[in-house]
Amino acid sequence: MNTSPKSQMKIGELSRRAGVNVQTVRYYERRGLVTPAGRRASGYREYEPDALDRLHFIKRAQELGFTLAEIGDLLALRLDPHTPAAAVKARANAKIDDIDRKIHDLERIRHALVHLAGRCRGGKGPAGDCPLLEALGSIDTNHTNTLLTSGDRK
């Protein structure tokens, strides 16, 4: 790897090239996801070209739904030459399971909203009579839970 001063970047250049905010780079630094190569005599942080690769990796992993903690694990697996592909696949499968649970929860929420919106008369009558507002203001949590779980009986 070429580590000449010309190949190193200051934080502003790194953030521009990665398409992230300078504060984001600093935050990732605090989280241990990105490490500066050092500091110039002026005090500016210097970053190697691999920091840009890491930032792109982080962004792509976030787009796939991975949390920063999970991304940290993936980066560690990526750097360890002894990591078996099965370990990476296990992380991917766990994320798929997590996404499936979220989809299921969103489907239940959607069902409840469709049900409540269907009972609302729309432009007729006062807004206070809308079942949606009534359900949201209800102290009876069993009613809300029933709406959310009734979608499970498809």
| pLDDT classification of 1: cutoffs 50, 70, 90 | very low
38 three-class SS = strand
List every span in the chain annotated with CATH 1.10.1660.10.
Answer: 9-64
Report, as an integer, the average pLDDT of 72-95. 96
For the stretch 118-134, what's the b/e string if a residue is b when 16 or more beta carbons lie within 10 angstroms of its beta carbon? eebeeeeeeeeebbbee
* Residue 127, pLDDT above cutoff 90: no
Q: What CATH architecture applies to the domain 9-64?
A: Orthogonal Bundle (1.10)
* Residue 145, pLDDT above cutoff 90: no
Q: Which position has the higher pLDDT, 1 or 6?
A: 6
Give residues with Cβ within 8 angstroms of 53, minimum separation 6.
none
pTM, two decimals, is 0.73
| pLDDT classification of 66: cutoffs 50, 70, 90 | very high
The per-residue pLDDT for range 13-53, each reduced to its tens digit, is 999 999 999 999 999 999 999 988 788 888 888 999 999 99
The pLDDT assigned to 147 comes to 60
Strands 45-47 and 38-39: antiparallel
* Residue 152, pLDDT above cutoff 80: no
* Residue 2, pLDDT above cutoff 50: no
